[in-house]
Structure 1
Amino acid sequence: MAILDILKYPNKILRTPSQEVEKFDKDLHQFLDDMYETMSQKNGVGLAAIQVGIPKKIFIINIPDEENEVIDKKNLFEIINPVFLKKEGSIKWNEGCLSIPEFYEEVDRFEKITLAYQDRYGERKILKGEGLLAIAIQHEVDHLNGTLFIDKLPILKRKKFEKELKKIQKDIK
């Protein structure tokens, strides 16, 4: 297992549209395992391949157990080549991102989704999600398209984010 480097905004690679996965082999399985270790170490809920510099249509999501907030690998979704079949309703959700640490903001999302995808073996699956699972899926699919959650913010909130980011970057130097 390897812990991968997570790219941070404003890294331009995060804007790269991802390509379809065609090979479902042991290299892909290793990469998925490494993504899981990386996401777990950073206490993330989701991680897209592009966030570790690989422009492939791959992401993982592991929603914490609602009762005790514990993340259990049995709740892990490995999603490859996703396609939305249905999007319904609307909801506001306070989102964050491993590529934009320390910043959280409310984003408009669909409340329920239905997604077609492939698993690590190339098997075709359908997933229906609502609440945090639906939000996380939309967030990660955005990554695959080169979109970040800050792109969905109204202009004033976006300006606030850019100002906070400059301050954080100045404090680090």
Structure 2
Amino acid sequence: MAGLVRPITLVGTPVLHRPCRPVEEFGPALRELADDMFASMYEADGVGLAANQIGVDLCVFVYDCPDEDGERHKGAVVNPVLELPVLENRRLDDDEEGCLSVPGPHARLARPDRAVVHGFDVTGGQVTVAGTGLLARCLQHETDHLEGRLYIDRLSARSRKKVLKEFEALRAEADALPG
């Protein structure tokens, strides 16, 4: 797996803010896309990446992160359907969250501490990924991306504004560096 590192799409880019198209063809191009996504995610030091984060309007995400027991999970999910615990069984994990498309700042965001995603692998085989801890957060975060939603869209207006202000300040600082 030697994918191509592609630039990460940043907040404000239209492809991040609308639902992605379902994948209809499972072939070499999809496998190549997943390889590129893994390469891009690793280069950016991430634990998950959705296709629209590299500008591709398709329902695919990749992940490589631990669950609450520290066990590492890695894979790609195509056309994911997220399943969360019913309200009476739902416990929230109120932890910090960040995003490669909003690099720099993090914010506290409560999410269910368990999540399951049903979908397909890059060959079209059915997959189910059950996650706890960081993996549960990752499954929810990446599925949100494919629905056109960023984690900052789930924050309070005040927290969202603070994250975006910090992001813009970091970008201005980086742009001011000599070339």
Tell me the TM-score normalised to structure 2 length: 0.86
Partner of 2:143: 141
CA 170–22 in structure 1, closer or farther in 2 if over 3 Å, else same = same
Q: Do residues 60 (structure 1) and 58 (structure 2) align?
A: no
Q: Distance in 2 between matches of 1:66 and 1:149?
A: 20
- Whether contact under 8 Å (2:104, 2:167) holds in the other structure is no
Distance 1:64 1:114 in 2: 15
- 1:84 and 2:86 aligned: no
TM superposition outliers: structure 1 runs of 4+ over 6 Å: none
Contact 2:94 2:110 in 1 (8 A): yes
Q: How many pairs are equivalent?
A: 169
SS in 2 for 1:157: helix
Distance in 2 between the 1:66 and 1:91 partners? Answer: 11
The structural deviation recorded for 1:11 is 1.7
Share of identical aligned residues, percent? 33
Deviations 1:84-134 (A, max 9, x none): 233332211211111111111111111111221101111112222111111
Report the Cα distance in structure 2 between the residues aligned to 1:157 and 1:86, rounded to whole angstroms.
24
Paired residue type of 1:143: H
Q: 3-state SS of the aligned residue for 1:156?
A: helix
Is the partner of 2:130 in helix, strand or coil?
A: strand
Cα distance in 2 between the residues matched to 1:35 and 1:62: 11
Instruction: Confirm or deny: 8 A CA contact 1:16 1:50 kept in the other structure.
Output: no
Consecutive unaligned residues of structure 1, counting only runs of 5 or more, are: none
Kindly state the Cα deviation for residue 168 of structure 1 after the two structures are TM-superposed: 2.7
Residue of structure 1 equivalent to 2:27: 25
Partner residue of 1:12?
A: 14
CA distance in 2, matches of 1:65, 1:125: 17
Q: Give the CA deviation at 1:10.
A: 2.0
Superposed CA offset, 1:141-168 (max 9, x none): 0100111111111121122123223323
CA distance in 2, matches of 1:3, 1:169: 21
Q: SS state of the match for residue 63, structure 1?
A: strand
Give me the whole-angstrom Cα distance separating, in 1, the residues matched to 2:160 and 2:84. Answer: 28
Q: Give the TM-score taking structure 1 as reference length.
A: 0.89
The RMSD of aligned alpha carbons is 2.1
Q: How far has the Cα of 1:66 moved from its partner?
A: 8.1
Map of 2:44 onto structure 1: 42
Query: Cα offset for 1:19?
Result: 1.2
Aligned 1:87-126 pairs, distance under 5 A = 87=85, 88-126=90-128
